[in-house]
Amino acid sequence: MSTTLLLVLAIVLLIAASVFAQFYRTRRSPLGRVLYIFSNIRHAEKICREFSYKRNVKKFQVAGWQKNKDKVHFLTKVLHTELAKLIGMLNESNIKIDTAVKFKSNAYLVTIDVKNLEEPLAASKERLRNWIQENMHNPEYLPRRRSLFRW
pLDDT at 148 over 80: no
Distances (CA, A) of 60 to 64, 70, 93, 94: 11, 20, 8, 6
Cβ of 36: how many Cβ atoms within 10 Å?
A: 18
Distances (CA, A) of 70 to 11, 30, 64, 67, 105: 39, 11, 11, 8, 36
- Give pLDDT tens digits for 24-63: 656 678 888 999 999 999 999 999 998 877 667 889 999 9
Residue 125 — pLDDT band, cuts 50, 70, 90?
very high
- Give pLDDT tens digits for 89-106: 999 999 999 998 888 888
